[in-house]
Structure formats: C-alpha cells, structure tokens
C-alpha cells in the first residue's frame, strides 16, 4: 500500500512539474509575478492619488473645534466677557469652512500637471510590461531553438551510430580498414559532444524563462511549439515605417511627451504664485460658562449653546509682495525642468530611431543569412546522400563520407540558429511597432 501511494505521489508530482507552457501562459505568468512591473504599477497608483488630491484641493475645507476648560482665579467669563475671580467651567464649539476662489491659475494648472504625470506614469508601466513581454518572447524562442538543436544533434549522432553499426559488421569480416571504423567512432564522439552542448543551451534558456516568470527552475519545464514558417516570412515594413509607428504608439515616446507636457503646466502653476489669491470663509460658533445667569437663575447648558450661537463670513485677499525670491526661483526651477523634459523627449526619439535602424540592419542581415543557409543545407544534403550511397557501395572513402556529413551537419545547425535569429530580429522590430501581441 505504501509503495502504491509513493508511486501515485511521484507520478502526479512529475505530471505537475512537466507542465507545458504556451507563449501566452508564459507572458501572463511573467506579468503577474514580475516585481519590477508591480513596482511600476504602484508608482502609477501614486500618481493617480496625486491627481485626485489636486482635484480635491478646489473643494472647500471643513473643520470642527471642541474645547472644554476649567479656570481658577482671575479669568474672563466667556458669557459676560467680564473678569471674574472664582472657579469657572467653560466650553466652546465651532465649525469653520473656507474655499480658495482664485489662486492665479495654480490649482487648475496643478491638476493638468498631475494629469499629464499620471498618463506618463501609466505609459511607463506599459513600457515595463512591453519590455518584459519582449524578453519572454525572445527567451521562449531560445527554448525552441535549444530543442531544435538537441533534436538535430541527436539525429546526427544517430546517423553516425547507424554507420558504425554497419561498418562493425564489415570490420568483423575483415572487409575494411580498421581506420575507417575508428574515424566514424571519432565522428560519433563529436556528435555526442554536440548533443551535450545543445542540451546545455536548452537548459540555460529554460532557466532564463523560469526566472522571467519568477518560477522555480526545473528540467521538466516544456513549451508549446510554434509554427516558425508563418512568422519567418520576409519582413515587409521599412525603418521609417517602424519609426512612424513608434512615434504614434511606442509607450516610451508617449511617456516623455506627457512628461514634457506635465513640466509645461508646472511652469504655469509656479507662475500663479505671483498673483493675489482670493478666498471665502465662514464659521459657526457657540459657548458655555458655568457662571452664566439671568433673572431666573443659572442658565442651563443646552440653553447657553442655543443662545450663544454666532456666525461669521468673510472674504480674504492675499497679495504677494516679497517672498525672499522664493516664487521667482520656483518658476526658474520649473522652467529648467521643462527645458530638460524637451531635451529628454528629443533624446528618446533619437535613441529609438537609432535603435530601430540598428535592429532593421540586424534583421536584414539575419534574413540574408537565413536564405543563404537554406540553399546551403539543400546543396550539402544532396551531396551527403550521394557520398553515403558511394560509401555504402564501397566506391567512396570514409574521409569523403565524413567530410560530406560534417558539412551537412554544420549547415543544419547554422540554419536552425539563423532561422531563430531572424525571427528574434523581427520581434525586436515588432516591439517598436507595438505589434508583439498580434504577431506572436
């Protein structure tokens, strides 16, 4: 019974570990678990709070005051407003409210400033997500590349093993030179070394993918295959076309544009402090005194609160005359930030354009290499088949056979790498054009 339980446990545990991830599952898992993306989201939430507060600053404030006290000796009776020299219990209650009517446009421009900052922060969060998605796609393709390398290397080793098995029979009969068999055994060792190297590449890619998803690494991790033939077609867009798309959609560019807009409103908000501010306020108050009396005797507590009610309303005007140059320097600082934001926008656009140009050149070179290697693989495969037939019939030598096989093997390995390299280069360009989701 214990053995049966252990078998079931390890069987189901292995089934869980051997989960096959689709590309979308990898992306969703990485976005959900990535700490950097979560931190960027918190910064966006903070910017949203600042925006809300700047809007609330236009509303009137409201406060209530309650005070109770005990006085001994000479003091002022709050009911009669005269001096008394005895023990006195007193209380006061008040409600006050005020609103700023005019502040030189500072409140309005601060709202616009924070609104632009909020948009910029949201785009920066989106940029962090886009960066992560691109890294996941690239690493996912690297896993597929590693699997193809392992498969191709294993096929090459299997082909060498079959040739050795065939020669072993001939060698036992003394029909071939011993060196021919040893040459093929040496080739088999090379093939097995290539398999080990490909497996190392595969496991490294799996490790990187697991880390991007913030999941524990396991060798049992597998990914779903993608039909590369559909996404390995020739790239149709141009560098200028990709750049124009980036100007309209790339989150990093849109973010710096909103940062510049925010800084511009920051200058206007700072200049508002040069103007007078107008505010309106009002209040409601009442009080109680333990010494309050009338003709009927001591006035009750509730009666005093009712009889002593007073209201007030007023308009305030604050005119800035001299603030030790603080306002002027704040405007200067805001103006410096605005100029810096314009330079940052220009720098970002130039950098993105240069990156697109470099990525397009890399993609073009990768596609040219990919197409050339396709022709090379076809040619070397045909040559190997001919060499294999000659060698099997005893016409060719082991040297000719090994040379033909080595050329074919190298061409196949290079083609696999070139194919994935080309697809990766396309994904980088898709990243700038914001078409990663549609094209994956």
Q: Tens digit of pLDDT for each residue in 334-389?
A: 999 999 999 999 999 999 999 999 999 999 999 999 999 999 999 999 998 998 88
The percentage of the chain sitting over the pLDDT mark of 70, rounded to a whole number, equals 90
**pTM score:** 0.82
Residue with tokens 């003091």: 75
pLDDT at 11 over 80: no
Please report the pLDDT score of residue 162 as a whole number. Answer: 79
Please report the pLDDT score of residue 9 as a whole number. Answer: 43
The CA distance from 394 to 53, in Å, is: 89
From 54-68, 241-255, 285-299, 314-328, the region with the lowest mean pLDDT: 285-299
Mean per-residue pLDDT, 205-227: 92
- Closest by alpha carbon to 248, among 433, 62, 14? 433
The percentage of the chain sitting over the pLDDT mark of 90, rounded to a whole number, equals 56
The CA distance from 117 to 263, in Å, is: 9
Of 3-7, 28-32, 387-391, 401-405, which has the strongest mean pLDDT? Answer: 28-32
Q: What residue ranges do the domains of the chain occupy?
A: 68-97+285-319, 102-275+321-440
CATH C-level class of 102-275+321-440: mainly alpha
Q: Tens digit of pLDDT for each residue in 158-212?
A: 887 877 777 676 666 665 666 767 777 887 888 899 899 999 999 999 999 999 9
pLDDT at 439 over 70: no
**Mean model confidence pLDDT for the chain:** 86
Question: What's the first-to-final CA gap in the chain, in angstroms?
Answer: 48
Q: Tens digit of pLDDT for each residue in 283-328?
A: 999 988 888 887 778 888 888 889 889 999 999 999 999 888 999 9
């Amino acid at each position: 019974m214990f053995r049966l339980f252990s078998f079931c446990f390890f069987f189901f545990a292995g089934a869980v570990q051997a989960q096959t991830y689709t590309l979308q599952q990898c992306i969703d898992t990485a976005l959900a678990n990535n700490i950097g993306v979560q931190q960027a989201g918190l910064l966006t939430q903070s910017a949203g709070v600042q925006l809300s507060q700047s809007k609330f600053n236009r509303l009137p404030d409201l406060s209530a005051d309650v005070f109770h006290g005990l006085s001994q000796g000479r003091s002022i009776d709050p009911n009669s407003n005269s001096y008394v020299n005895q023990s006195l219990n007193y209380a006061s209650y008040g409600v006050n409210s005020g609103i700023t009517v005019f502040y030189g446009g500072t409140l309005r421009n601060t709202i616009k400033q924070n609104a632009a900052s909020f948009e910029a922060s949201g785009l920066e969060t989106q940029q962090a997500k886009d960066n992560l998605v691109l890294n996941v796609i690239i690493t996912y393709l690297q896993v597929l590349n590693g699997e193809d390398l392992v498969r191709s290397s294993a096929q090459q080793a299997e082909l060498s093993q079959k040739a050795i098995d065939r020669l072993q029979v001939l060698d036992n009969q003394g029909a071939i030179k011993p060196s021919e068999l040893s040459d093929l055994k040496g080739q088999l060792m090379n093939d097995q070394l290539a398999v080990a190297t490909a497996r190392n590449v595969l496991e490294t890619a799996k490790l990187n993918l697991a880390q991007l998803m913030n999941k524990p690494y396991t060798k049992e991790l597998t990914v779903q295959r993608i039909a590369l033939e559909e996404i390995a077609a020739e790239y149709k867009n141009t560098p200028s076309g990709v750049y124009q798309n980036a100007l309209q959609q790339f989150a990093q560019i849109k973010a710096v544009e909103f940062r510049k807009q925010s800084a511009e409103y920051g200058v206007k908000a700072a200049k508002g402090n040069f103007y007078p501010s107008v505010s309106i306020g009002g209040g409601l108050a009442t009080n109680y005194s333990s010494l309050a009396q009338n003709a009927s005797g001591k006035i009750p507590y509730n009666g005093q609160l009712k009889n002593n009610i007073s209201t007030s309303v007023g308009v305030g005007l604050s005119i800035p005359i001299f603030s030790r140059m603080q306002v002027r320097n704040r405007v200067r600082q805001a103006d410096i930030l605005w100029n810096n934001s314009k330079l940052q926008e220009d720098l970002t656009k130039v950098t993105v354009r240069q990156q697109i140009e470099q990525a397009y050149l890399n993609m073009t070179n990768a596609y040219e290499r990919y197409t050339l290697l396709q022709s090379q693989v076809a040619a070397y495969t045909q040559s190997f088949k001919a060499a294999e037939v000659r060698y099997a019939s005893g016409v060719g030598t082991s040297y000719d056979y090994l040379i033909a096989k080595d050329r074919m093997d190298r061409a196949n390995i290079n083609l696999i790498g070139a194919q994935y390299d080309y697809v990766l280069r396309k994904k980088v360009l898709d990243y700038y054009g914001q078409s990663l989701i549609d094209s994956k």
